[in-house]
Amino acid sequence: MDRPAAHPSTVRSELAQLLTLSWPVVISRLGIMGMGLCDAVVVGRFSATQLGYHALGWAPTSVVITMMVGLLTGIQVMTARAVGEGRPEVTGAVLRRGLVYSAWISMASAAVLALGGPHFLHGIGLERGLADGASRALLVFCLSLPGWALGTAAAFWLEGLSRPGPGAWIMWIANGVNLAFDLVLVPGTFGLPALGAVGGAWATTGARTFLAVAMLAYIAFMPDARALGVFDRTPRDRAAAAEQRRIGFGAGVSNFFEVAAFASMNIIAGWIGGLAVAAWAIVLNVMALVFMIPLGLATGAAVRVGRAYGARDRVGVARAGWVAFVLTGGFVALIGLAIWPNAALVARGYTTNPETLAMTVPAVVLACLMLVPDSLQVVAAQALRSRGDVWLPSGAHLTSYVLVMMPLAWWLAIPRGLGIMGLVWAVLIASLLSGGLLIARFWQLGRRDAAMTGV
């Protein structure tokens, strides 16, 4: 885009507001990964084999969870737009629609996964012992889905109001709950049996249930809850409900394509071998931990772009997007440079198994190259959705992660014999493609807006 010539003070103001909004969201998203990190470290140190069970059992639920996060994105965007329009009193209706939506899709998803997940794991060519262990963990993970969905809906609403702080500290309290359960259930303390991967799944379920209860209680006792319409029975707004679902459908489809493609990488790793699953789980966990930072910045970008879009400020829309892109790319590049020389130290934090380490360390080094493009694509996708371009991100993710990454990963990892390194190369190439397409689209729309406003 021909970026609008903004006064330096305007850019600084946008940057300050983005950071003020984003840093609690980043802390909250790091808390989400904190649960997975606790599970991976505690289970991995207990047994590399159990870590493989845990990773494969988690993979099908990760597809559903990420799709649900996308389906609930409409809560965040519609709340931000309503505030930008000067109508905060209608945001309570946005929350209520989101909670009902999250309840039924999470319960339906849990039922489908519980019934079909074990059959899927046994039917994709895994060793029987690996499929059996993963299935036991999967059934417990299914129980965590309603708590996850309700807590996420509540957090998205608060973030749309530019109040991400409460969600952040509640998330980290939930991490404490998760860690306590992990330390008791995984190795079997206080005379309890060692549950391994299943214990990690139970810990996640308990923590997510706590998260939902705490988030909803906080909202109920907010001083301005009634002023925001949380308890009001407002007339049904079919147009607003349809727009909220449309945004959610677009993001849900997009997330489904991406996470399903990444879950397929676990399957390819399983075809390589049980320890390869553990190595890939470590690589993915490290990269996902870093990814929580751009995911938080993506939320900040979505809210800033959504507010400008609701206020019909086309210049503000472009400025919010580009400030977020530059900040994200620069910050994540620095993180990658810090991880690169310390890859062995990072890997040893997860496992001491020498065979697993031999696969993991070079893969972590290579994965540092994918951090910037992968981060930029998620921020660009959120910025596009907030400005009303819902389906282009879905198409970009379908092309990049399903049509390109999945077959390329299989070809590089197995026929070409690159193993885990082949998986990382495939992710890198797909992220470059997705990030390029999405930023080009934001640029194109910005040029159109500039032509319309004469900027």
Report the alpha-carbon distance of residue 138 to residue 141 in Å, rounded: 5
Q: What is the DSSP letter of 194?
A: P
Q: Is 338 helix (H, G, I), strand (E, B) or coil?
A: helix
Per-residue pLDDT, 1: 40
One-letter identity of residue 82: A
The token pair at 61 is 């639920």
What's the DSSP call for residue 88? G
pLDDT digits 0-9 by tens, 298-354? 888 888 898 888 788 888 888 988 999 999 999 999 999 999 999 889 888 877 788
With contact defined as beta carbons under 8 Å apart, do 365 and 343 qualify? yes
Q: How far apart are CA 158 and CA 259, in angstroms?
A: 25
pLDDT 10s digits, 228-253: 989 887 667 788 888 888 888 877 78
Enumerate the domain spans of the chain. 8-453
pLDDT, tens digit, 9 for 90 and up, residues 374-408: 999 999 998 998 888 888 888 998 899 999 999 99
Q: Which pLDDT value is given to residue 213?
A: 97
SS3 state of residue 127 = coil
Residue where the block lists tokens 């950071």: 19
Measured CA to CA, the distance from residue 285 to residue 26 in angstroms comes to 16
Distances (CA, A) of 118 to 123, 130, 219: 9, 11, 37
Give DSSP secondary structure letters for 150-172: HHHHHHHHHHHTT--HHHHHHHH
Q: DSSP H helical segments within 161-221, as ranges?
A: 165-185, 197-220
Handedness of CA 392, 393, 398, 399 (dihedral sign): positive
CB-CB contact of 283 with 367 (8 Å): yes
C-alpha pair distances (Å), 120 with each of 116, 117, 438: 6, 5, 33
pLDDT digit of tens for each residue in the chain (455 aa)? 444 445 566 788 888 888 887 888 888 877 877 787 788 888 888 887 888 888 888 878 877 887 788 888 889 888 988 888 888 888 898 999 999 989 999 999 999 999 998 888 888 777 888 888 889 999 999 999 999 999 999 999 998 898 988 999 999 999 999 999 999 988 878 878 888 888 989 999 999 999 999 999 999 999 999 999 898 876 677 888 888 888 888 777 887 787 778 778 878 888 887 778 888 888 887 888 788 888 888 888 888 898 888 788 888 888 988 999 999 999 999 999 999 999 889 888 877 788 888 888 999 999 999 999 999 999 999 899 888 888 888 899 889 999 999 999 999 999 998 988 999 999 999 999 999 999 999 999 988 877 766 55
The identity of residue 201, as a single letter, is A
Alpha carbons within 13 angstroms on the beta-carbon side of residue 1 total 29
The upper half-sphere exposure of residue 245, i.e. CA atoms within 13 Å in the direction of its Cβ, equals 10
Contact 335, 371 (CB under 8 A): yes
pLDDT of the residue at 196: 84
CB 340 within 8 A of CB 365: yes
Residues 6+ apart with CB under 8 A from 300: 18, 19, 21, 22, 25, 324
280 contacts 51 by C-beta, under 8 angstroms: no
